[in-house]
């Protein structure tokens, strides 16, 4: 993705390969001409994959994959093998049409529930108190401003959900209706998200919110990646809403809905309890740390397009909640010892993940004048240049968790996801979809981050890599 973004920043221009060919021709060096032409062809192919073929494949595949997850859980007993049998019996296209035909058209209950939730979430972004916080300076020299009220929003929303659940239960009204209508929720979210991303594309083209915007000249890539880094609509930050107030909060609510449905069907089941508990604690940690999230790649680098906005509006409510959705119809009794072990390892993973992020924030907040694991931190004071020519200072931490590997915090995140998935045991592969997806995404993200930091910090990043030679897993990779 970093290479794609660089293409946007450079206006879609290629390397100076043509001038290299010209120089090589003047020298009469046929071997140099061959090598230069080969490099030019490779660069063209890379740009074609990164800017056209890759985005187009994601645009076509991922919305269909989300509906296949729903179909696998509700119509294939959670088995991808049964899904493959369906595809084998029909053509791929016929199978896909069949799956989509089973998904219900969004009912008024679903449509109005989503509308009212969005109105509530937007209102709380403005009304709930919170201190003013700032994101990192952008490549264009802008400094985004936010209100840090995410944890209060999470606490209030969860309180409202469980209060209404208990109050309405005697009247036969249960939030489990949303589990029964998951297909309608998906169809509604998918349609809205695709149209919303078109709106973001047009807004970025016609009325960008800041100078951190621009086109690559490729409409497919611009729709996929986005036109703006920090779009705002009527003063509302789009990415804070899609990522934090909608995607992750709906994740938490759907997990609770699945837990309610499981209780209605089976009573208390420890596998559902373990999985739901770890996810809710993880999301509570996220909202407690939300100001730190605003300094991550999702916000700092990824533009507001299909990639991030559709992902948060659709993929998070469907894929990220697939484990508890699966457990509703596949209850597993783990026993106290196994449940306690999974919870302990999961909570430990949450703590390590939080502590790693806290170490970096602490060092940067104190300008390195602090202790990490009882010692003065090993830091590199780096400098980098903004697109407007300004020079900024930054600190690269090579101590604590960040001294073990350059992206060590991905390990506890993957471990945590595994802990809330293991309660499903091993009857089917489907509940492990999120763990597999997360591992692939984080591996790809680490590569993007490496490219970004190498380009941003130059020789300072080389110094850091010499101090911390491992990318993710210490002593391995």
More confident residue, 31 or 366: 366
In contact, 424 and 431? CB cutoff 8 Å: yes
Going 326 to 327 to 328 to 330, the CA torsion angle's sign is positive
Share of the chain above pLDDT 90, in %: 64
Average pLDDT over the chain reads 89
pLDDT score recorded for residue 30: 65
CA atoms of 146 and 135, how far apart (whole Å):
8
- Segment 389-447, tens digit of pLDDT: 778 888 888 889 999 999 888 999 999 999 999 999 999 999 999 999 999 999 988 88
- Segment 405-415, tens digit of pLDDT: 998 889 999 99
Share of the chain above pLDDT 70, in %: 93
- The answer, yes or no, to whether residue 456 has pLDDT greater than 80, is yes
The stretches of 141-248 forming alpha helices (DSSP H) are 150-168, 177-180, 182-206, 219-225, 238-239
The SS3 of residue 470 is coil
| Overall average pLDDT of the 17-21 stretch | 49
pLDDT score recorded for residue 6: 41
User: Mean pLDDT lowest for which of 61-75, 133-147, 185-199?
Assistant: 133-147
Report the half-sphere exposure of 219 (CA within 13 A, side-chain side): 2
- The answer, yes or no, to whether residue 186 has pLDDT greater than 80, is yes
pLDDT score recorded for residue 15: 46
In contact, 421 and 431? CB cutoff 8 Å: yes
Alpha-carbon distances, residue 443 vs 165, 328, 414 (angstroms): 39, 30, 11
CA atoms of 122 and 106, how far apart (whole Å):
22
CA atoms of 476 and 288, how far apart (whole Å):
32
pLDDT score recorded for residue 7: 41
User: Mean pLDDT lowest for which of 24-28, 152-156, 270-274, 308-312?
Assistant: 24-28
In contact, 225 and 304? CB cutoff 8 Å: no
Query: Which helix (H) or strand (E) segment is 236 a member of?
Result: strand 236-237
**Angle, vertex CA 316, rays to CA 344 and CA 306, nearest 5:** 145
- The answer, yes or no, to whether residue 377 has pLDDT greater than 50, is yes
- Segment 103-129, tens digit of pLDDT: 989 999 999 999 999 999 999 999 999
User: Mean pLDDT lowest for which of 76-85, 313-322, 365-374?
Assistant: 365-374
CA-wise closest residue to 402 among 411, 394, 393, 389: 411
| Overall average pLDDT of the 366-393 stretch | 85
Strands 379-385 and 391-397: antiparallel
In contact, 450 and 305? CB cutoff 8 Å: no
- The answer, yes or no, to whether residue 336 has pLDDT greater than 50, is yes
pLDDT score recorded for residue 12: 41
- The answer, yes or no, to whether residue 5 has pLDDT greater than 50, is no
Residue 371 banded pLDDT, cuts 50, 70, 90: confident
- The answer, yes or no, to whether residue 31 has pLDDT greater than 90, is no
Q: Which residues of 307-335 are buried (b: 16+ CB within 10 A; e: fewer)?
A: bbbbbbbbbbbbbbbbbbbbbbebbbebe
**Angle, vertex CA 403, rays to CA 400 and CA 407, nearest 5:** 105
**Angle, vertex CA 147, rays to CA 134 and CA 312, nearest 5:** 90
CB neighbours of 341 closer than 8 A, spacing ≥ 6? none
What are the DSSP E strand ranges found in 357-445? 379-385, 391-397
CA atoms of 419 and 263, how far apart (whole Å):
21
CA atoms of 440 and 17, how far apart (whole Å):
33
User: Mean pLDDT lowest for which of 86-100, 151-165, 189-203?
Assistant: 86-100
- The answer, yes or no, to whether residue 1 has pLDDT greater than 50, is no
| Overall average pLDDT of the 135-155 stretch | 91
| Overall average pLDDT of the 353-364 stretch | 89
- The answer, yes or no, to whether residue 16 has pLDDT greater than 70, is no
Residue 136 banded pLDDT, cuts 50, 70, 90: confident
Residue 262 banded pLDDT, cuts 50, 70, 90: very high
Going 322 to 427 to 419 to 300, the CA torsion angle's sign is negative
Strand-pairing partners, residue 25, are none
- The answer, yes or no, to whether residue 255 has pLDDT greater than 50, is yes
pLDDT score recorded for residue 455: 86
In contact, 197 and 223? CB cutoff 8 Å: yes
User: Mean pLDDT lowest for which of 4-8, 202-206, 318-322, 362-366?
Assistant: 4-8
């Amino acid at each position: 993705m970093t290479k794609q973004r660089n293409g946007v920043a450079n206006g879609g221009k290629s390397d100076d390969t043509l001038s290299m060919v010209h120089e090589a021709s003047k020298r009469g060096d046929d071997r140099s001409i061959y090598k230069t032409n080969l490099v030019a062809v490779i660069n063209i192919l890379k740009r074609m994959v990164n800017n056209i073929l890759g985005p187009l494949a994601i645009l076509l595949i991922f919305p269909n994959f989300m509906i296949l997850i729903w179909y696998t859980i509700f119509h294939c007993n959670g088995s991808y093998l049964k899904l493959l049998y369906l595809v084998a019996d029909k053509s791929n296209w016929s199978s896909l049409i069949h799956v989509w035909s089973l998904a219900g058209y969004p009912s008024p209950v679903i449509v109005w529930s989503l509308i009212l939730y969005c109105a509530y979430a937007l209102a709380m972004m403005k009304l709930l108190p919170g201190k003013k916080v700032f994101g990192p300076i952008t490549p264009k020299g802008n400094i985004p401003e936010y209100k840090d009220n995410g944890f209060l929003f999470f606490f209030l929303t969860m309180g409202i959900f469980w209060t209404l659940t208990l109050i309405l239960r005697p009247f036969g009204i249960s939030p489990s209706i949303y589990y029964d209508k998951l297909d309608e929720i998906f169809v509604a979210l998918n349609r809205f998200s695709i149209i919303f991303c078109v709106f973001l594309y047009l807004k970025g083209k016609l009325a960008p919110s800041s100078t951190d915007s621009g086109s690559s000249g490729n409409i497919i890539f611009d729709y996929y990646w986005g036109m703006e880094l920090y779009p705002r609509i009527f003063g509302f930050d789009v990415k804070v809403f899609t990522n934090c107030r909608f995607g992750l909060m709906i994740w938490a609510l759907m997990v609770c809905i699945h837990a309610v449905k499981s209780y209605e069907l089976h009573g208390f089941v420890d596998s559902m309890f373990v999985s739901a508990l770890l996810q809710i604690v993880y999301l509570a940690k996220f909202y407690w740390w939300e100001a730190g999230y605003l300094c991550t790649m999702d916000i700092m680098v990824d533009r507001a397009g299909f990639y991030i906005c559709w992902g948060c509006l659709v993929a998070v409510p469907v894929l990220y909640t697939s484990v508890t959705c699966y457990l509703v119809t596949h209850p597993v009794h783990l026993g106290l010892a196994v449940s306690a072990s999974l919870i302990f390892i999961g909570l430990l993973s949450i703590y390590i993940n939080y502590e790693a992020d806290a170490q970096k924030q602490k060092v940067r907040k104190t300008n390195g004048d602090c202790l990490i694991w009882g010692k003065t931190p090993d830091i590199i004071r780096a400098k980098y240049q903004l697109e407007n020519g300004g020079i900024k200072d930054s600190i690269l931490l090579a101590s604590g968790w960040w001294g073990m590997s350059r992206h060590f915090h991905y390990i506890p995140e993957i471990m945590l996801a595994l802990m809330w998935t293991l309660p499903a045991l091993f009857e089917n592969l489907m509940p492990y979809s999120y763990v597999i997806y997360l591992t692939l995404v984080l591996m790809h993200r680490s590569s993007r981050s490496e490219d970004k930091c190498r380009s941003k910090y130059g020789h300072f990043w080389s110094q850091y890599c010499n101090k911390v030679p491992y990318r993710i897993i210490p002593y391995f990779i």
